[in-house]
Structure 1
Amino acid sequence: MTSYPAHWEADVVLRDGGTAHLRPIVPSDSAALQRMHRAQSPESVYLRFFAPMPQIPTKDLDRFVTVDHRDRVAFVLVVGDEVIGVGRFDRIDPESAEVAFNIADAHQGRGIGSILLEHLAVAAREVGITVFTAEVLPHNRPMLQVFAAAGYEVSREFEDGVVAVRFEIDPTDRAMQVIAAREHRAEALSVRSVLHPASVVVIGASRKRHSTGNLLVRNLTSAGFQGTLTVVHPEAESIAGVQTVRSLDELTEPADLAVIAVPATSVSGVVRDCAAHGVKAVVVISSGFAEAGPEGTALQREVVATARSHGMRVVGPNSFGIANTAPDVALNSSLSPFLPEPGSLGLFSQSGALGTALLARATRLGLGMSTFVSAGNRADLSGNDLLQYWEEDPATKAVGLYLESIGNPRKFSRIARRVSRVKPVVVVKSDLTGQELPPGHQVRLSGLAERAGGALDEILTQAGILRADSIRQLFDITQVLTAQRLPTGRRVGIIGNSAAMGTLLVQAARAEGLVVDCDPVSLHPEVRADEFAEALAQMYSRDDVDSVIVSFTPSAGASDQEIAGVLSEQAAQATQTTVACFSGVQGVREELTAFVPGDEGTPERRTVPSYFGPEDAVLALARTTDYAMWRGEDHGHYPELERIDRRAARSVIDSALDEVEGDETVVLSPSRTRELVQAYGISVLPHITTSSVDEALEAAEELGYPVALKAVHTRLRHRMELGGVRLNIETPGELRDDYGQIREVIDSFTQEGPYDVDVQRMAPPGTACVVRGGEDPLLGPVVSFSLSGDTTELVGDIAHRVAPLTDVDASQMLRSVKAAPRLFGYKGLPIMNVAPIEDLLLRISQLVDDFPAIADIAVHPVVATQTDSHVLSIRVVLRSAVDRIDSARRRLA
């Protein structure tokens, strides 16, 4: 029997936003399984077993809970001590297995069957099974729907009153889209249950006014929380004017949200108590967890495991709190004594210490907010969860994220890219590489080492994310995004009553990539309101201006209020985006606000954001314009590549990994490498490995002259300057001389070999490129492109993207490196046909996306010519025991 596969365990979010724990079945589950069976209706039992069965016979029960985790696999989904669903497969032959499910009546409709199928498919592929079959009664429509909606190509046959279902379980594009859509809906609902509570209970508040719990209660009441607020205190009759209960036993109905502010050592017990009383989510304000050391880390894991296994989400621990400004909610369950006005910015912060600063600055700028979450140690609820929620939230127009780490960058990139197409996402990034982390943040380290930061920057750009270097920039940019329409182009008009300010704005705009074709309008310093209005009208009437920057310094001809009124009214009616450097006004203020009729006749607020300095105004406008241009671009599609044989590739990888144990790596042999890449439509220029000059001469005759000689030695491979490569060998005499020289070079480097030399037919002349891919522990499947050579590596001229790539990704990636002009006729060089290189990028992207076991695949070099490309060498490294954190099964990190 295979040992218990702990890596198959997972916390999952169900269709309704609740959570549960999924794990392999064990013999001790027999009693819980029997309880679930006895609670089932006769119809449910019949649909599962095709016969009446009031209880499971002991013999069958023992067989159900005793599995070998290879030929017989079963998962249970549990909430607390209750089994709410069972899924299993039994191997029929080496490649197929019969799958079956049993879902508790009380939990049907929560998407349990779909989750079990996803996890069973991943486990089955791991043990070599590629096909699932099932026998289902025709009137068991829910189970037939599970198979039909999973995204697989399902065949059905009706025979002897039973529907026989059969489908291959390779993760097709359609299946992955289904998984992502279900994940999105479930996680969005789970966040909504946190941010829209109808009832809140505070646990840990004391009568001391300056205590954390007391402050939380006062903030909840001062915000005017619209739901039911209760405080748990064993002695006090009331806290901060709110009636108390002695314990959760006294609640008449389960609370939607519990806010916990007790010592760290007591939190786990409080969470268990909340679970026992049906609380849906908890916010843990308490500190002293992972940020405090190993003991705190253990406490944190216990808290999260307890909550998730009982259907609850956790914000924190070490959280600053959460807020929702919607009038029908009015929730300020945070440590901030003030709450910004209702608005359209969704704000997420990992730092608890910065929580107050973020809310304070938003308030000072008059920047309205929809919702706010401080994740603290981000042990459960994360920025990815919030993005899922904000994508659908009608109250949120733009998203701001302060991130100190990303636990699952691949998922973040995938979700953010989708969200960015409908709503802008602005990120203030601290260290996101996993190399330097704040206390309490636990993420994997990137294998790209010093290049991880640059790689992540490129990945954020790939997802359409706006990057800010500071919190100040975050708010500068979001002011434009929430208060103005998006620009339609990069052309900028500048108007003001200071020539010096106009010059500064022009210089700053051009430096940020904006286009200033028309001369700035410089009004005289003592401009009157009517003069300013006329100049603005002329500027807004121009069809060669997409955005307008307005500056105003104090004037004897008009008051600030007069000019502000003129500007706000005209800007509200204009089609252009407007920002301002307005004397005495900073932020999104009433002075620069006007109203226009909305789509449904209701007034729509339009505000001109104003900045202290020209650099701030221009940067905010430039970043907003960058986003608008990205959003309007064609981002391509994920092409259906021909000549892809996943089954053949999996066979090569599995057979190679069968020879290693534990978390080891293995370098594929040349023959296996050719097999693997040929399964993905990649051909390698033939070569023959030789160990003597005579073998080399025979190989050259077989391949045909001219040939190249390449030392197999690791330090000499691809190193022509070290003497490890000889090119354009046209005769046997040349080959004898060059072979001897290479062997001398090899001997000078080591006495241990390898001494072999590859003989390869010469490729046509062209430009050598490098394509790499593999599973990065932090970033997931990453693909890289560069031109070959030491200079490229020394200056870091390498493009990175997260797989899978669209056709546009591949095209832009190749053109994004600084040395790319060498492929397109630089200084008289021939123009190369890069289409085959783009196709190679797509194929390597698909390969590493499909198989996390590929730690590294290096195509070095691939030579681009004017007509085609030629792959000269590929090296593949596999790693066993890979656990991708964003895979073909839904689970919480």
Structure 2
Amino acid sequence: MTSAPAQPVAAVDVLLADGTIATIRRVVPSDHEGLLALHDHLAEENLRMRFFGLNRAAGHDYAEHLAAAVGSTEVLALVALVGGDLVAVASAEVMAEGTAEISFLVADSAHGLGLGTLLLEHLAAEARGRGILEFTADVLVDNHAMLRVLADCGFDLQRRTDTGVVTFHMGTAATERAVAAADAREAGAEARSLAPLLYPRSIAVVGVRRSGGGVGRAVLEEVADGGFTGEVYVVHPGGSGALPEVSGARVVPDLAAIGSPVDLVVVAVPAGRVLDVVRDAAHAGARSAVILTSGFGEAGSDGAQAQRELVAIARRHSMRLVGPNCLGVMTTDADVRLNATFTRGLPQPGGLAVASQSGGVGIGLLDLARESGAGLASFVSLGNKADVSGNDLLAAWMDDPRVSAAALYLESFGNARKFARIARRFAQRKPLLAVVGGRSTGGRRAGASHTAAAAAPTVGVDALFAQSGVIGCSSLEELADAARLLTSQPLPSGPRLAIVGNAGGLGVLAADSATAGALVVPELSPVLQESLTARMPGAAGLSNPIDLGAAASADGLLATTETVLASDEVDAVLVIVAATKVTDADGFLRALADARSGLVDKPLLLVALGGAAVPEDSSRAFAAFRSVEDATRALAHAASYAAWLDTPAVPAVVRTPGAGDRARPVVDAALAEAGTDGWLRPAQCRELLSAYGIDVLGGRVERRLSRILTAAHEIGYPVVLKAADPAVVHKTERGLVRPGLKAPDEVLEAAADLELKLGVPEPELLVQAQVPAGVEVAVGVVRDDGFGPLVMVAAGGVATDVWDDRVFLLPPLTAVDAARAVRRLRIWPLLAGHRGAKPVDVAALEALLQAVGQLAVEVPELAEMDLNPVIMSEAGAACVDVKVRLSPPARPADDGVPRKLRPAP
């Protein structure tokens, strides 16, 4: 390798398989003694596995070699430390251009923690940055642990066995399998790491005032009132004589006096004392801490520095932190029953796990959970997210049998692409609901391209949710309603809704609301209507909505509801019952709750009005709502989620091999020519896109009229004449595109007019062939500061901004992602063949989207791109015009591997 040494990177914290925290970093000179000790203390069997013999001197020589190679371009070495002790080392030594040989050594005491896999992931990431494309490794055939590490890592792999040695050749690229394998391993590690926080068996509260009152006292009272089943300690410097009797709690002068590590420490002391308390908790072996105190990351640079120190202390001792500046945590599990917050009372138990970045919003969510009857499993107030984040909690809750759904309130995403991956995996198992704050259009960023101008602050969130199966809600009430339905009722198998009730007007409103939410209110078949007539001969209407009349009996309402539920003509039933003097609404609701136990294959929703009493134990029988709008909106979310789940398994992303390598010289040359930020010339645009198999309509760029006429003649009439200066955007709106020129005189007239409009003598003009008419779409890319590249597909042409018909996606894109996006467009009927027109080649458009997605991921300098218009016809996709702007990215792209804990905010 001839490249300069890579600059040292900060150490990163990683979760081991047992939930403890290790640090991975490059070898530094001061590691010399630690490397020698690591080799000295190896058991003979592990020494043989590493050095193919029992020559301990070889270990010493290798330790000296690594220590001496610090900063070398030929040797990359990483070490892993747990609690400050060096427990593993991995190296990659360059053997030839683009190839390095790798080796690993893990201390006897650290086997089985996943250190080999983690070091391999980080070695591969470092190698990619150095241009190393392939690793090689020789492993003894009986070194089963290392064979498993290499086989399970997910990187592209080839192996060959010869005379007791397996030789591996492995790509360093972060494949989808590698990312998925890393995410799956991390989920298990997160679950083990966060178990003491979510399901503690012992808790200590620090910050309980002698005089009573205050946050610490409030938490302690809630712990006691909630019936926490574990051991409770109160830490006060004066010991047991300093505080009045605390029911069920033992008062100790400090955490060390407890005599054994506690699972959870709740910190409610003033900000100036928090660091000392966290340090004491770490030294006492506490597994997790919740810091309620404010005055850290949200309070300026000094607070932010103190917050980073908190995280550093905690991670050195494998202790997880929630907060600071948070409300606390709750768990309703019968074996725990913990309310370690300063709010009042535990909600009823259930399957919903909630995380909130805002304490105030968290209180609102808890109130809604209590009022609506949506049972709660866990609640975590994230506060400043110094350590534990929503991503971490989703990973921990993913396979937790006590959690049937999760709900998040977020104001920021941190690593949005990692969230997208975790959210998709979670949503494939359980419903995931979210409300995102700070989505107003006041922050809309102006952009030069149509794509950038359309990228309002909401589009990244919307794209993420749509692709990941997240149920996005616009309010806390909407989230609570959807959660109640999803945790108490089965998912609908389709969008068809039957509406049954004794209030005709409300049934009409329900039908309107359902239709607006993309549900279907089908007319019931004559056979089903006849069956209903036999049960309710006096009904006012049976076609759907079913209006049984204000005087409907409880028996009639029940019989009708059961009949419709049993029908295969609908996927869900909404019952609207208004209590009157002549209707036994209470009797009907009790009977429905009793009868429902045998009819649970379809969701049943209820709106009870007029004072009708909903039985307290009916949450599994039906989901009750305040209004028909609330009910239909919740059902629309459930139906949309069910449809997302029913989509065939997401196939692997299909990529054009070698495209990134072909594109790189074009990008580097264009940036060198344009500086740090600039638009590409037409020829550069075509060359860049052709690397990904995207053909852009060619043409010739000329200045002189004679050459423009020659180009038109050789291309063949009719032609299009347009401004070719890459700095000129929105050409059509400015009258700088002249299509349909059929003769030389028309070309000359158009050229003269364009010269006048541009105000430049003999400007560069692009001559192109005229493309036959078709359906115009626009495809583009814009880079969002939080979400990275976003791919857009939209109604195209000059009216693209008028139609406002567009969908944004997060690349890379699967075929399913592309197909869903195209079918979400309002112009989809035109693409599918409207009113007898021939359908366009939709597959070509979907393939174009996938190729653009690959380009957006592999060229991080791509800041904006417009393909507009793309003329779609039965013959395929014709990309008529392209604009590309390059700019160095603000931060490197996240490819998903290696995995590491978030740095402290």
TM over 0.5: yes
Greater Cα offset, 524-533 or 256-265: 524-533
Alignment partner of 1:545 is 2:570: yes
* Matched-pair contact (CA < 8 Å) for 2:719–2:741: yes
Alignment partner of 1:461 is 2:466: yes
The CA RMSD over aligned residues, in Å, is 3.5
Greater Cα offset, 673-682 or 290-299: 673-682
Closer/same/farther in 2, CA of residues 335 and 877 from structure 1, 3 Å limit: same
1:825 offset after TM fit, Å? Answer: 4.9
Closer/same/farther in 2, CA of residues 820 and 70 from structure 1, 3 Å limit: farther
2:630 pairs with one of 616, 622, 627:
616
1:576 pairs with one of 598, 602, 612:
602
Query: Matches of 1:173 and 1:583 in 2, distance apart?
Result: 52
Query: Matches of 2:553 and 2:832 in 1, distance apart?
Result: 55
For 1:627, the aligned partner's letter is: Y
Query: Matches of 1:692 and 1:72 in 2, distance apart?
Result: 57
Q: SS of the counterpart of 1:890?
A: coil
Aligned residue in 2 for 1:431 = 438
Aligned residue in 1 for 2:305 = 298
1:618 offset after TM fit, Å? Answer: 2.9
2:657 pairs with one of 644, 651, 670:
644
Aligned residue in 2 for 1:223 = 226
Greater Cα offset, 611-620 or 853-862: 853-862
1:335 offset after TM fit, Å? Answer: 1.7
Aligned residue in 1 for 2:315 = 308
Aligned residue in 2 for 1:76 = 79
* Matched-pair contact (CA < 8 Å) for 1:497–1:552: yes
* 1:471-482 equivalent positions in 2, closer than 5 A: 471-482=476-487
Q: SS of the counterpart of 1:389?
A: helix
Query: Matches of 1:836 and 1:251 in 2, distance apart?
Result: 68
Query: Matches of 1:257 and 1:62 in 2, distance apart?
Result: 44
Alignment partner of 1:111 is 2:111: no
Q: SS of the counterpart of 1:607?
A: coil
Query: Matches of 2:72 and 2:423 in 1, distance apart?
Result: 36
Q: Percent identity over the alignment? A: 33
1:853 offset after TM fit, Å? Answer: 4.1
Q: How many residues align?
A: 867
Query: Matches of 1:265 and 1:69 in 2, distance apart?
Result: 44
1:433 offset after TM fit, Å? Answer: 7.8
Closer/same/farther in 2, CA of residues 118 and 532 from structure 1, 3 Å limit: same
Aligned residue in 1 for 2:645 = 631
Closer/same/farther in 2, CA of residues 660 and 160 from structure 1, 3 Å limit: farther
* Matched-pair contact (CA < 8 Å) for 2:348–2:373: yes
1:13 pairs with one of 12, 15, 28:
15
Aligned residue in 2 for 1:682 = 694
Task: Give per-residue Cα distances to partners, 1:279-309, cap 9 Å, x unaligned.
Answer: 2222111111122222222222222233234
Closer/same/farther in 2, CA of residues 76 and 657 from structure 1, 3 Å limit: farther
Query: Matches of 1:328 and 1:623 in 2, distance apart?
Result: 33
* Matched-pair contact (CA < 8 Å) for 1:335–1:356: no
1:470 offset after TM fit, Å? Answer: 1.8
1:841 offset after TM fit, Å? Answer: 0.6
Aligned residue in 1 for 2:24 = 22
Alignment partner of 1:745 is 2:748: no
Aligned residue in 1 for 2:43 = 41
Query: Matches of 1:799 and 1:531 in 2, distance apart?
Result: 47
2:332 pairs with one of 301, 325, 328:
325
1:89 pairs with one of 88, 92, 105:
92
Alignment partner of 1:780 is 2:788: yes
Closer/same/farther in 2, CA of residues 796 and 9 from structure 1, 3 Å limit: farther
* Matched-pair contact (CA < 8 Å) for 1:352–1:376: yes
Query: Matches of 1:43 and 1:22 in 2, distance apart?
Result: 25
For 1:487, the aligned partner's letter is: P
Q: SS of the counterpart of 1:879?
A: coil
Query: Matches of 2:732 and 2:375 in 1, distance apart?
Result: 61
Alignment partner of 1:567 is 2:569: no
For 1:33, the aligned partner's letter is: L
1:421 offset after TM fit, Å? Answer: 2.7
Closer/same/farther in 2, CA of residues 635 and 136 from structure 1, 3 Å limit: closer
For 1:552, the aligned partner's letter is: V
* 1:301-450 equivalent positions in 2, closer than 5 A: 301-432=308-439
* 1:158-169 equivalent positions in 2, closer than 5 A: 158=161, 162-169=165-172
* 1:282-293 equivalent positions in 2, closer than 5 A: 282-293=289-300
For 2:886, the aligned partner's letter is: V
Aligned residue in 2 for 1:61 = 64
Query: Matches of 1:431 and 1:616 in 2, distance apart?
Result: 23
Closer/same/farther in 2, CA of residues 851 and 111 from structure 1, 3 Å limit: farther
Query: Matches of 1:660 and 1:170 in 2, distance apart?
Result: 29
Query: Matches of 2:800 and 2:298 in 1, distance apart?
Result: 40
Closer/same/farther in 2, CA of residues 538 and 674 from structure 1, 3 Å limit: closer
Closer/same/farther in 2, CA of residues 6 and 323 from structure 1, 3 Å limit: farther
1:326 offset after TM fit, Å? Answer: 1.2
Q: SS of the counterpart of 2:285?
A: coil
Task: Give per-residue Cα distances to partners, 1:455-488, cap 9 Å, x unaligned.
Answer: 4224312322222222222222222112222223
Task: Give per-residue Cα distances to partners, 1:725-755, cap 9 Å, x unaligned.
Answer: 344556666555544443343325xx9x9x4
Give TM-score, length-normalised by structure 2: 0.87
Closer/same/farther in 2, CA of residues 878 and 120 from structure 1, 3 Å limit: farther
Greater Cα offset, 395-404 or 319-328: 395-404
Alignment partner of 1:756 is 2:769: no
Greater Cα offset, 240-249 or 576-585: 576-585
Aligned residue in 1 for 2:871 = 863
Query: Matches of 2:500 and 2:819 in 1, distance apart?
Result: 39
| Structure 1 unmatched runs, 5+ | 438-445, 594-605
* Matched-pair contact (CA < 8 Å) for 2:871–2:878: yes
Query: Matches of 1:145 and 1:836 in 2, distance apart?
Result: 41
| Structure 2 unmatched runs, 5+ | 445-450, 524-542
Query: Matches of 2:844 and 2:45 in 1, distance apart?
Result: 58
Closer/same/farther in 2, CA of residues 742 and 449 from structure 1, 3 Å limit: closer
Task: Give per-residue Cα distances to partners, 1:32-64, cap 9 Å, x unaligned.
Answer: 434434443343344334453379659953743
Closer/same/farther in 2, CA of residues 217 and 69 from structure 1, 3 Å limit: farther
